[in-house]
Amino acid sequence: MFNEDICSKIILPFCSDYHRKRQIFNRSIQKYPSAIIYCENARDAEEAVRYAASKGMEIRVRSGGHNYEGFCIGNKRLVIDTSLLKDKSICEDTQTVRIGSGVNNRELYHYLSQYGYPFPSGTCPTVMAVGLTQGGGWGHSSRMFGLTCDLLVEAELVDPRGNLIVANDREHSDLFWALRGGGGGNFGVITSLTYQLLPKVTKVTYVDIQYSKINDGTSLHFLRTWQKWLLKKENRFTPNSRIFNSEKEGMGIFLRGFFYGTPEEATASVQPFLKICGAKASFRYVTFLEATEIDASVYPPFEKFRFAGRFVCGNYSNRQMVSIIRLVKKRARGSTYASVALYALGGKVRDLSPCETAFYYRKANYIMGIETIWKSPEVQPENLSWIHARFRCLCSLTVGSYINFPYLCTGNYMKAYYGGNAKRLMCIKSKYDPCNLFRFAQSIKPCYASRIYKIRGKD
């Protein structure tokens, strides 16, 4: 049994707020865990893990609940939730910041901005740094400063035996390697993360370029410009873009991001995009924090969606670009928004070798994903089929999948997410979680996974 202290932090199916607390960002995923434990400190996490292990209960670890496929939750699972771990402390002497696993992007940006520091995390305000960092962590500063995981210097986590351990360059350095790109929920319950600080930044230029009511010619011109522009050695700008088909606006494109420089420098840098027919651009000279708030303003509190994200390493021919544009020409029944999403890589991301951390696809030019969003549960099957049918085409044009944008139908997922790092990750998994306590539909397999699955049954 749990001690009395932790009992007050457990949400059970008969609790009045159970149905609210079991929800995650992607509302198309509905799971019914047997209990949710809200950890208020590392001791709670230790106790929760020991309890689950002693009872043979299956665990899910959750912080922000933004995993696209809901790997943070499950039917009849014990969910260990770290969203209440909100501590933050900065040490300017060592140039580090330490945060609890319940700190989200917005909270981290606000905290660091008080001291004048930027931080290369993601665009959605409610995504938690702990989930994002473990998968790599893309954001509008990636080309300038690297992935979020590249700044991680230490993690504290509760291992499968229920012990709090530290992973950094000196202690459990193999695990530290795996936590930087291996994806969340595989090795234990992280309770805190420490990151390196960056040089202070005063202002950035928020670039927003839009093209509305576009035709295929504009999309083609845009894709050609995108792939050529990314090859420039311009680390100051990490744009993301979408070629979208929305219920409200029809076909359109946007390109956004922070430029680390003045509006004049930004305008010169993105000239090729401004030359595309119909471009409407704005260049706002704002503080780093204001730029993150502009990003944040586009996100709803939750939605129903599927998204599959893959890596692009080369350049496309016109014929291939036409197939990409065709992916979103028709929406599924009931879909309110479908898009091909592009996230620039390169710059500092590429400076590390693919095996320096577990994030393998460092040499990719960008991430390309497809997405559909819908509202009514009735149209969910059509939307799932829509993405499934297009995923094959996406795979034929790309090389591997981004673990932070997972898709359940990804075949041979170990290879897809981790490429040449898959074997090393499997060995580290076997060492730190030999009983495969932390497992879910696409978790890292231990080396002897097939034997374990036979004994315990598949997830």
Ligand X SMILES: Cc1cc2nc3c(=O)[nH]c(=O)nc-3n(C[C@H](O)[C@H](O)[C@H](O)COP(=O)(O)OP(=O)(O)OC[C@H]3O[C@@H](n4cnc5c(N)ncnc54)[C@H](O)[C@@H]3O)c2cc1C
Interface positions with ligand X (CB under 6 A): 25, 60-68, 71-72, 82, 101, 122-124, 127-128, 130-132, 134-135, 137-139, 184-185, 189-190, 299, 404
CB of 437 to ligand X, least distance (A): 12
CB of 124 to ligand X, least distance (A): 3
Question: With respect to ligand X, which residue has the nearer C-beta, 300 or 411?
Answer: 300
CB of 107 to ligand X, least distance (A): 12
Question: With respect to ligand X, which residue has the nearer C-beta, 71 or 418?
Answer: 71
CB of 137 to ligand X, least distance (A): 5
CB of 328 to ligand X, least distance (A): 18
Token pair recorded at residue 174: 């193999």
**Contact partners, residue 30, CB within 8 Å, separation at least 6:** none
Question: With respect to ligand X, which residue has the nearer C-beta, 235 or 404?
Answer: 404
Strands 203-212 and 280-287: antiparallel
Question: With respect to ligand X, which residue has the nearer C-beta, 64 or 118?
Answer: 64
Where does residue 76 rank: exposed (0-12), middle (13-18), buried (19+ CB within 10 A)?
A: exposed
Question: With respect to ligand X, which residue has the nearer C-beta, 140 or 331?
Answer: 140
**Amino acid sitting at position 375:** K
145 touches 118 (CB < 8 A): yes
Tokens 């420098």 sit at which residue?
Answer: 265
Question: With respect to ligand X, which residue has the nearer C-beta, 73 or 276?
Answer: 73
CB of 353 to ligand X, least distance (A): 20
CB of 335 to ligand X, least distance (A): 17
Question: With respect to ligand X, which residue has the nearer C-beta, 285 or 299?
Answer: 299
